[in-house]
Amino acid sequence: MVDLTKGQKEIIQAGGHQLVTGGPGSGKTTVSILKSAKIAREGLGLGQRILFLSFARATVSRVLEAIDEENAITREEKQRIEVDTYHSFFWRILKTHGYLVGFPRRLAILTPPNEVIALSAVRSGYKPASKLTDKEKVEKRAREGVERTRLAIEEGKVCFDLFADRVAILLHGSNRVRSLISTTYPYIILDEFQDTTADQWRVVQALGGSSTLIALADPEQRIFDFIGADPERLNQFQAAFAPSVHDLADDNHRSTGTDIALFGNDILRGKFRQNEYRGIGVEVFESNPNQAYASLVGLVLQARRRLIEGGRRDWSLAILVPTKRMTRLVSDVLREPFGSVPPISHTAAVDMEGPILAAEIVAFLLQQGTHSGCFDELIELLCSYFHGRGGASPTKGDISEASRYRAALAKWNECVAAVRPTPGNSVLKNTFAVHQASAALVMTGDPDVDWVALRAILDTGVCSRLNDVAREVRNLRLLERGTQLRQGLAQDWRDTGGYRNALTITRESFVQEHFAMARKPESGVIVMNMHKAKGKQFDEVIIFEGWPKRVRREIVANPDRIVTGNVKDGPMAQARQNFRVSITRAKLRTTILTPRDDICVLLKSELR
């Protein structure tokens, strides 16, 4: 067991609502776990549990692991601590009590990929978000809201966006449900409280009526302003619940023996107190793709060697980049051999819409259906993929691609019905050829082998859209040992002698996956957007940003930078907070890679 600091001990002793603040790695999570164990020992009645609410599944895994490793907590105590995401907790409430807010009795989750498909008709009527006026933005949001509500109330399909709002309405309106929850969970711990949205805050207000709340927060790690976090939240919590306030301040247990936390604070304040910081490296690269990626790959290999040689079990190395686009670019680079370097095995935290919809296509083809209308179904899935893969902002190109495919299918079917040859110049010609090839594949009954074989047909086939699908689907780690999908497909083979229900099984397994808790925290090399790193910790972190494009020495574009356009603009508080969160995820070392000819403005020595 760790030796708790004086501040941590006080938190364990205090009663009533609490607000625990402190910088990255100051031990907020740890102390809340130990406090939970104490409550489990002393303060709970029969059947009661402590609820620990977090934003992301990855944080949940980290907390579960921390609980698991805590020798000072007995097994019975551990069982009394329930760690969950806001999403999954809200869903449990809606499933049981959703009828109180007008939902039908049978509810299903509208997963993000299907939500974007459902909303694409509304969204396609608008220009890209950056070109909308404020009035248009409000109108678009309102129309999306109406459609979401309609889907929930009429079809029982509830998307995540509605969860918090409806649970808030439900809890404020029903004494009975509120007291049911508080009886089960007399203590609720709210992780990363600084990022609570307005709707989540309304839920918390209702729960705090009879449950004791312990909010953990670092106001300077607030990075979700763009989706509704509010700098006032901590004050609102104090005003509403008069909690005892405990500040663990700048204690740093994550990266002890380094200056990583200190450097993070200096980035925040814009003043460097030292010339060198232990555990921090700043490296520069030349502004062209070849040399930039060569520098990155070189650093990744060095870090990986350090970690392996350090003998760490389950070591982790995160490559954090400023944008989603760059997550993909870096992942593509690592996946291909780079010069004499073999591919670097890694996971990439890319947005899941595209890969999931791509997986649906692979699953559908695994079914090897031969019924009439089978090709139509494939094209419909492909159109869904076009509509959905761009997430909340489908591109015009993708939407018109879908219309083109649908129009081509109508022509195609006319010919088939009239027993005429199908048009030789149809966009569907190549898709049809690959469909035929996939139907001819001889399956083995081993889901891994068959999935990979089918993906290879798409990958090497003549249809460029299906080549794309094959590439996307690689971003999923679906068929790992013991996953629900793998088991489901194996069972299907046993039951039907084929994969007759592969599409349904795949869809269901995504919903399950979304709520699965038993996942290990990430290990190995992980590529992710800086925003996604919140609440996580890794052995080493490499932060890699984009570089300027120049024409005759003048910068004409400057994408994927830590600070947008790498332009100094006022105090840049949000950019500093984001950067600090990424820097302080490392236990041992953080290396920042920035272009030589346009160093990140937050690193400029003129700030000193």
Ligand X SMILES: Nc1ncnc2c1ncn2[C@@H]1O[C@H](COP(=O)(O)OP(=O)(O)OP(=O)(O)O)[C@@H](O)[C@H]1O
Q: How many Å is the Cα radius of gyration of the chain?
A: 26
**Residue from 17, 28, 178, 455 in contact with ligand X (CB under 6 A):** 28
Asked whether 403 and 380 are in contact (CB, 8 A), the reply is no
How would you classify the pairing of strands 50-54 and 81-85? parallel
* Residue 388 makes contact with ligand X by CB under 6 A: no
Asked whether 27 and 251 are in contact (CB, 8 A), the reply is yes
Q: Which stretch binds ligand X (CB under 6 A): 3-11, 298-306, 361-369, 411-419?
A: 3-11
Asked whether 199 and 161 are in contact (CB, 8 A), the reply is no
Q: Using the structure block, give the residue that is written with the tokens 């060697």.
A: 305
Minimum distance from CB of 219 to ligand X (Å)? Answer: 11
For residue 373, is it left (φ>0), alpha (ψ between -120 and 50) or beta? left
* Residue 5 makes contact with ligand X by CB under 6 A: yes
Q: How far apart are CA 170 and CA 149, in angstroms?
A: 15
The CA-based angle 304-310-311, given to 5 degrees, is 100
Q: Which stretch binds ligand X (CB under 6 A): 28-36, 483-491, 525-533, 593-601?
A: 28-36
Q: Is 24 annotated as a binding residue?
A: yes
Q: Is 128 annotated as a binding residue?
A: no
Asked whether 232 and 590 are in contact (CB, 8 A), the reply is no
The CA-based angle 548-354-477, given to 5 degrees, is 100
* Residue 3 makes contact with ligand X by CB under 6 A: yes
Minimum distance from CB of 50 to ligand X (Å)? Answer: 16
**Residue from 11, 27, 223, 594 in contact with ligand X (CB under 6 A):** 27
Minimum distance from CB of 164 to ligand X (Å)? Answer: 22
* Residue 2 makes contact with ligand X by CB under 6 A: yes
Minimum distance from CB of 282 to ligand X (Å)? Answer: 22
Kindly state the number of chain residues that form the binding site for ligand X, as judged by CB under 6 A: 17
* Residue 26 makes contact with ligand X by CB under 6 A: yes
Q: H or E segment at 84?
A: strand 81-85
**Residue from 222, 246, 254, 346 in contact with ligand X (CB under 6 A):** 254
Minimum distance from CB of 237 to ligand X (Å)? Answer: 17
Q: Is 546 annotated as a binding residue?
A: no
Pattern 234-253, ligand X, x by CB under 6 A: -------------------x
> Among residues 14, 51, 47, 19, which one has the least CA distance to residue 33?
51
Minimum distance from CB of 169 to ligand X (Å)? Answer: 31
Pattern 529-568, ligand X, x by CB under 6 A: ------x---------------------------------
Q: How far apart are CA 82 and CA 521, in angstroms?
A: 17
* Residue 29 makes contact with ligand X by CB under 6 A: yes
The number of beta carbons lying within 10 Å of the beta carbon of residue 411 is: 13
- Beta strands (DSSP E) in 452-585 are 524-529, 538-544, 549-551, 554-557
* Residue 87 makes contact with ligand X by CB under 6 A: no
Q: Is 23 annotated as a binding residue?
A: yes
Compute, in degrees rounded to 10, the torsion defined by CA atoms 51, 53, 56, 57: 0
95 or 253: CB nearest ligand X: 253
Q: Which stretch binds ligand X (CB under 6 A): 19-27, 205-213, 231-239, 429-437?
A: 19-27
Q: State the DSSP code for 38.
A: H
Q: H or E segment at 123?
A: helix 112-124
- CA 117 centroid distance within chain: 19
Q: Is 27 annotated as a binding residue?
A: yes
157 or 580: CB nearest ligand X: 580
Phi, psi of 155 (to 5 degrees): -110, -5
**Residue from 11, 22, 246, 580 in contact with ligand X (CB under 6 A):** 22
68 or 495: CB nearest ligand X: 68
Minimum distance from CB of 187 to ligand X (Å)? Answer: 18
293 or 579: CB nearest ligand X: 579
Minimum distance from CB of 25 to ligand X (Å)? Answer: 4
458 or 581: CB nearest ligand X: 581
264 or 546: CB nearest ligand X: 264
Asked whether 222 and 195 are in contact (CB, 8 A), the reply is yes
* Residue 218 makes contact with ligand X by CB under 6 A: yes
Handedness of CA 112, 113, 116, 118 (dihedral sign): negative
Q: How far apart are CA 351 and CA 472, in angstroms?
A: 10
List CB contacts of 142: < 8 A, sequence separation 6 or more: none
Give the three-state DSSP class for 590. Answer: strand
447 or 535: CB nearest ligand X: 535
5 or 210: CB nearest ligand X: 5
Asked whether 164 and 192 are in contact (CB, 8 A), the reply is no
Query: Is 239 exposed, middle or buried (CB count within 10 Å of its CB: 0-12, 13-18, 19+)?
Result: exposed
Q: How far apart are CA 56 and CA 534, in angstroms?
A: 9
Q: How far apart are CA 25 and CA 262, in angstroms?
A: 12
Cα atoms in the Cβ-side hemisphere of radius 13 Å centred on 149: 10
Q: Which stretch binds ligand X (CB under 6 A): 26-34, 98-106, 394-402, 488-496?
A: 26-34
Asked whether 509 and 82 are in contact (CB, 8 A), the reply is no
Q: Is 28 annotated as a binding residue?
A: yes
* Residue 521 makes contact with ligand X by CB under 6 A: no
Q: Is 521 annotated as a binding residue?
A: no
Q: Using the structure block, give the residue that is written with the tokens 């603009």.
A: 569
**Residue from 18, 21, 30, 566 in contact with ligand X (CB under 6 A):** 30
269 or 477: CB nearest ligand X: 269
8 or 120: CB nearest ligand X: 8
**Token pair belonging to 9:** 């001990």
**Residue from 11, 17, 24, 207 in contact with ligand X (CB under 6 A):** 24
Minimum distance from CB of 69 to ligand X (Å)? Answer: 8
The number of beta carbons lying within 10 Å of the beta carbon of residue 72 is: 10
26 or 501: CB nearest ligand X: 26
Q: Which stretch binds ligand X (CB under 6 A): 18-26, 257-265, 509-517, 553-561?
A: 18-26
* Residue 279 makes contact with ligand X by CB under 6 A: no
Q: Which stretch binds ligand X (CB under 6 A): 24-32, 119-127, 407-415, 445-453?
A: 24-32
* Residue 312 makes contact with ligand X by CB under 6 A: no
248 or 473: CB nearest ligand X: 248
Per the annotation, binding residues for ATP are 22-29
Per the annotation, binding residues are 22-29
Which residues bind to ligand X, rule: CB under 6 A? 2-5, 8, 22, 24-30, 218, 253-254, 535
